[in-house]
A and B are shown apart, each in its own frame.
Chain A
Amino acid sequence: MTWETVIGLEVHVQLGTRTKMFCGCAALYGEDPNTNVCPVCLGLPGALPVPNAEAITLGTRAALALNCTVHPVSVFARKNYFYPDLPKGYQISQFDRPLATGGRLVIESPERGRLEVGITRLHLEEDAGKS
């Protein structure tokens, strides 16, 4: 039998935005705990998320660089689970209607020459556990 190895990569990239994905708090490291927080990222009762426009711009730029089809309408969906570092009990992510699909990245491999890596999808989400 001949076997072909297929490796899928799920790459998480933190975007270079000034503020968090769904609120205006600074996305900075090293401050005292509970400094860069607000009702939204703490998941306090009644708080609502508002998407970070710069994140959408950067995500779209990355999608275009990866030759993806960018969808003018995409949907943020809730990924529900319980964990103490997940304030809302769900992570706001994208599921069946992501920002972009169907791209490719062309690389040069020393052993095999020009290779095309398929990009299945690219989506935006908040970083769970980093509120």
Chain B
Amino acid sequence: MSLRALGAETAARLRAAESLNAVLHWSEAHLEHEVARLEGGPLGPLAGMPVAVKDNIVTLDLPTTCASRILEGYVSPYEATAIRRLRAAGGMVAAKTNLDEFAMGSSTEHSAFGRVHHPLDPALVPGGSSGGSGALVAAGVVPAALGSETGGSVRQPAAFCGVVGVKPSYGRVSRFGLVAFGSSLDCISVFGRTVSDAARVLSAISGEDARDATTLAEPPMPVPEPRADLKGLTIGLPKEYFPQDLDPGVRAGMDRAIARIRDLGARTVEVSLPHSPYAVPTYYILAPAEASANLARYDGVRYGPPRPGGLPDVRALYQATRGNGFGPEVRRRILIGTYVLSAGYYEAYYGKAQRMRARIADDFSQVFARGVDLLFTPTTPTPAFRAGEKTEDPVQMYLADIFVCAVSLAGLPGMSLPIGRSGGLPIGGQLIAPYGADGPMLAAAAALERVLDGTEEVR
């Protein structure tokens, strides 16, 4: 297929998928520009692959709003390092996708521009915060998409939507150009229809970046050779991730996947990550704390929509801008973050959460040090839930991340792979690897993908 035909096909699919509300910005002109840029030159390893990009990663030409009114109409004067590398490798930016505002959410219901609909059932959520990117890949509009994770926001929607979602080791991909939410947690991450597509995109965008001092001092990750089987590997099953009351469909999917893992020659062993129950509370102290500082720059002074006039002082400007520009979930988290960092409470909340974070990370280190190569767990406690089901109780919404957020706290690579369907809804299995072992994790996932049909009913 020629680049020109690929561009036209992508445009047609974007138009056909409008009812998902997964896209915030795209245009024929922009796609044509991307095609023209690649025409007549080397195609690079991504060979013209159209890739959708979550709208909290800055791009040239297409706006970056983070699904927030406070950045409505904002066009960045620079592009993220990950985008520059994606395009240099022959990828095309297809569209900017919808998300929970400033990446804060687990359902993409907190966007200022309407929620995203699950491609299989519009009454359901696609997960979040990278729900737009996940939905577009699941709907077959693009083969891959970029999202971001702070506490599971690519793995969780990947599980809900039935696609592959990969969070790399923290520092594997430059954060320069990713709008900061939780700086010590944020990772640009990848959705793909297959492990191979996700791995190719991850390889293209990875590598040390002088503009991001937290990147790993390593060259771009090579595309890993897929494993033929799992012989010689020990896969740990952390007991805290298999509670008695696990959704029966998820349990059936996991049982089937674990049987396949054994068929492929791996040894499975029960392990324990004892501080697991503290992951969600720890995350919801640390992430809001970092967010309260990272979102302080949105004050209406230098960028954003036109300022309200006639205000008596600068404080009134801030209140008008931020009070109206930020949605309720963003304001909730800024308030929590400011509170836990305030004098008198700093040690009790933030200090304690920092120490707990170290213990959570240590749980993983200890297990990996004892001959376990990878961990395998459910990605989410249930399949996709209905829109509106969890919006009344923020804590219920936060618990959707119960199996994914410890990995973020520990900075480890993790991914979700579709392992089957329950009542027609996708279920994801999660692989977790030691820090830096992104390649081996993807290689093992490729072997499992070959023997598991993600569209098959599990019970």
A and B: real partners?
yes
Q: Which of B211, B213, B293 contacts A90 (CB 8 A)?
A: B293
Contact A46 B301 (CB under 8 A): no
A46-B178, A48-B176 as given contacts; A82 in contact with B299, CB under 8 Å? yes
Counting chain B CB atoms within 10 Å of each CB, the highest count among A43, A44, A49, A88 belongs to A44
Q: How distant is A82 from chain B, measured CB to nearest CB, in Å? A: 6
Residue numbers in A under 8 Å from B80 (CB-CB): 46
For chain B, the count of residues having a C-beta within 8 Å of the partner chain is 34
Per the 8 Å Cβ criterion, residues 19-54 of A in contact with B are 39, 42-51
For residue A102, CB closer than 8 A to chain B, the reply is no
Residue numbers in A under 8 Å from B179 (CB-CB): 45-46
**Quick check: which of B71-79, B86-94, B123-131, B378-386 contacts chain A, the rest being far away?**
B71-79
Counting chain B CB atoms within 10 Å of each CB, the highest count among A48, A49, A50, A87 belongs to A48
Task: Tell me whether chain B's interface is mostly helix, strand or loop, or mixed.
Answer: loop
Considering the chains assembled together, what is the distance between the CA atoms of A82 and B71 in angstroms? 18
Considering the chains assembled together, what is the distance between the CA atoms of A80 and B339 in angstroms? 13
For residue A78, CB closer than 8 A to chain B, the reply is yes
For residue B370, CB closer than 8 A to chain A, the reply is no
Q: How distant is B330 from chain A, measured CB to nearest CB, in Å? A: 14
Task: Tell me whether chain A's interface is mostly helix, strand or loop, or mixed.
Answer: loop
Per the 8 Å Cβ criterion, residues 54-93 of A in contact with B are 78, 80, 82-84, 87-90
Contact A44 B76 (CB under 8 A): yes
For residue B57, CB closer than 8 A to chain A, the reply is yes
Nearest-neighbor residue (CB-CB) of B78 within chain A: A39
For residue B318, CB closer than 8 A to chain A, the reply is yes
A-B contact pairs, 25 of them (CB 8 A): A39-B78, A43-B302, A45-B64, A45-B66, A45-B76, A45-B297, A46-B64, A46-B177, A46-B180, A47-B176, A48-B175, A48-B180, A49-B213, A51-B213, A80-B341, A82-B296, A82-B299, A82-B314, A82-B315, A82-B318, A83-B314, A84-B314, A87-B297, A89-B296, A89-B297
